[in-house]
Structure 1
């Protein structure tokens, strides 16, 4: 079965290397990985969940298990090819759960699970679930994002386009439950920003507890969205770890 283009968006052309499947942070879509094709070590394919960008008319999915099943279904025969997973923030949780789902389905192990900007699922605060007003959502965005967003948030249309998928994704995050099970067998690379108060380096290092495979931990300058400034360094990290895991 061919991959579903409704869910999966290639970023750039084909390099002949393995595929890096990228899962976006809360409120974001495939566009979050624009520019990630500026290397030739792997092919980038970004996940486009419903409720954002060109899928804005669809309802966001707020059930984590449902979302993971949909992504796994959308992969088609891509799941049988050399594949690595990358997720930032909420995307890190989904990438981990997708690796477990692919294992449950009998698919080959991913070459690499790269998780960024989030504590591991077994370290989630069990009391995190709560409803958020629009004002609380705006404050949440401002706490995490260093980019000035006042002009966007002041415009009602743009504000709605930002807050609707964000609200859905935070509901999905709040509904996430880690179910103990066999540890993964895949190499795990955990990345974080040095100034990301939401993801302390010591918590990021706890991703090692979820795999029997090799583990590496990298800290880059910046806050929660350190990826914007450190994109080249992160791509180098990913290329280095994939080089050791994949042989043509």
Structure 2
């Protein structure tokens, strides 16, 4: 039995931990999402990396817990959960809000003196410095519903006609988006040293949340190498493009493990 088998935060996508000390791909969810967002990723080679999803409070089997409302608390808790994995090479994938979380997690690991992850793959999100400088008021229920239907009309949006499911979707989503919308008040001012981890920037060609500036913005935050790939589809392109995405990500992870992306 793994020493991590009873953790609340880390969920191996296969449902159990692999034996040994091979590399780990940490998968961070979008706003309102959970560990199940990455179900099935264990069926892909992924360059030998073990996909492990993060489950945040306020969803799935942690629904009774209050969602996290502080960036500092969020990245600190995730970093703490990784302590038993400190001997294993690490890469990070974050989709949408998970991309911001991944970037802040790398900064937190650097502050703790932990080894830099081998790769950060950021999906479907603008660079941190492109976030609004001031947060507006919390989004209303109507605004949350509009958000889901605009970006996820083929997935979560289908659940919104059921009142019970609607509450289960909107509670973590509202908390996550409030955290997301206050990001710039947490982020450090410009001038901080760039990270050393290579970045791969992934976007859907019809995603309204990203722009032509997205890759350059992310690339400015690291001294590592960078790559960009654009896939057919919108904000949740990774569902329809999963085979291609994970095949190409697997090659990135192989190269990162060999040190060829630095």
Report the TM range for the smaller structure's normalisation: over 0.9
Counterpart check, 1:6 vs 2:27 = no
Instruction: Tell me the secondary structure at the aligned position of residue 239 of structure 2.
Output: coil
> TM (normalized to structure 2)?
0.89
Instruction: Tell me the secondary structure at the aligned position of residue 87 of structure 1.
Output: strand
Match of 2:251 in 1: 240
Deviations 1:165-197 (A, max 9, x none): 000000110121221311000110010000001
Q: CA RMSD in A?
A: 1.9
Match of 2:110 in 1: 103
Q: Equivalent of 1:197, from 208, 214, 239?
A: 208
Match of 2:237 in 1: 226
Is the 1:118–1:204 contact (alpha carbons within 8 Å) kept by the matching residues of 2? no
Match of 1:171 in 2: 178
CA distance in structure 2 between the partners assigned to 1:156 and 1:193 by the alignment: 30
Q: Equivalent of 1:158, from 154, 160, 165?
A: 165
Residue 237 of structure 1 and its aligned partner are, at CA, apart by: 2.1
Change (3 A) 1:189 1:150: closer
> TM (normalized to structure 1)?
0.94
Match of 1:125 in 2: 132
Gaps of at least 5 residues in structure 2 are none
Residue 154 of structure 1 and its aligned partner are, at CA, apart by: 2.2
Range moving further from structure 2, 35-44 or 198-207: 198-207
Is the 2:106–2:116 contact (alpha carbons within 8 Å) kept by the matching residues of 1? yes
Number of corresponding residues: 248
Residue 149 of structure 1 and its aligned partner are, at CA, apart by: 5.5
Change (3 A) 1:143 1:128: farther
Q: Equivalent of 1:64, from 71, 75, 78?
A: 71
CA distance in structure 2 between the partners assigned to 1:146 and 1:205 by the alignment: 29
Is the 2:95–2:125 contact (alpha carbons within 8 Å) kept by the matching residues of 1? yes
Instruction: Tell me the secondary structure at the aligned position of residue 197 of structure 1.
Output: coil
Residue 152 of structure 1 and its aligned partner are, at CA, apart by: 2.0
Range moving further from structure 2, 109-118 or 195-204: 195-204
